[in-house]
Structure 1
Amino acid sequence: MSANEALLIIDYTNDFVADNGALTCGKPGQVIGAEIVRLADQMLANDGWVILPTDVHKPNDPYHPESKLFPPHNVRDTWGREFYGPLVAWFEQHHNDDKVYMYDKTRYSAFAGTDLDLRLRERQINSLHLAGVCTDICVLHTAVDAYNLDYNITVHKDAVAALTDNGQQWALDHFEHVLGAKVQ
């Protein structure tokens, strides 16, 4: 990990991870918290960036396609949108660091409708490390966009979790065999 790399911690919030989250991956998501924090510390220690693209919604938004697919989740200013577990203390400690920032996203991909690509290019970042949830939804869609934008991609298999075991394995295979990502 180096200055031209960034760790994206995708959607590691209560609604996606806590037992009573609205759209939770449960235990598989809970056990990756320590690894996510370890990767974040490692990235900062090597002068890299830590970026936290975090899903945000309005309750029952009739114009958002996810409203038809999933229960309300990650609603702005709710417990469900707050970071989960060890990421809470980590972000509290580092949120003022120059190389750490959180931003809102409203689609699966961290690139869709955001200035992420512009920010990465301004900082000469060409390699992305992916962590968070859900492996087969938001992490996957972010990886596909990163691939199409010619970023080098590493997915940390011990730092991602999906809603199902099948979804997890399918996404990990897809990262490696279709997107050419390193899965480690």
Structure 2
Amino acid sequence: MRKSDIRNPGCRTCTVESCDATTYRGNRCLELRAKVDLNDPSFPVFYEIQHNDVRCISVDWERDVYIFEVAGKNVGYKPTHYISAETEEEHIRKAIDMYLDEIAQTDLSQQPGQDARDAEAIIRLFPFADKDTMVWRENTGNLWVGVYGCWTARVSSYLFLGLKKGQEQKTR
């Protein structure tokens, strides 16, 4: 198995050659790591990678948590979905891009009148939306659009940021 085929984030920084372990940090993995005197991979790996005015300071590959320096402040970031990359540097650059996209989406959604624009977009996306169409945010933070008992669809949680957990709102 090639190291690039392994999906566990901790395997990315492991230097064991010809690894045949089937479970990351399982008995075989620990045995192979002990033979080459490797430390526990759960510790963060330190970096100095600058991309789009964001500097990556460290990554905890096992927990998939990044520490970025943004405008002089350290920011912890956990990506919202899996990142596919060939190298660690490419992986970090993609994580920075994902972080910046989330910040931009949050900033956009907080502009005055954005809820009305979001509602118009939902009506365009769902041609069967009518005066009974509602948007609601569950206590989990998930955002849904639909007509109770008829149809529903989960939409981006970055829409309707003014809508608090447990609240609902008509789209028209």
Instruction: Please report the TM-score for the alignment, with normalisation by the length of structure 2.
Output: 0.20
More helix by share: 1
Larger-gyration structure (1/2):
2
Higher relative contact order (CA 8 A, sep 6+): 1
TM-score by length of 1: 0.19
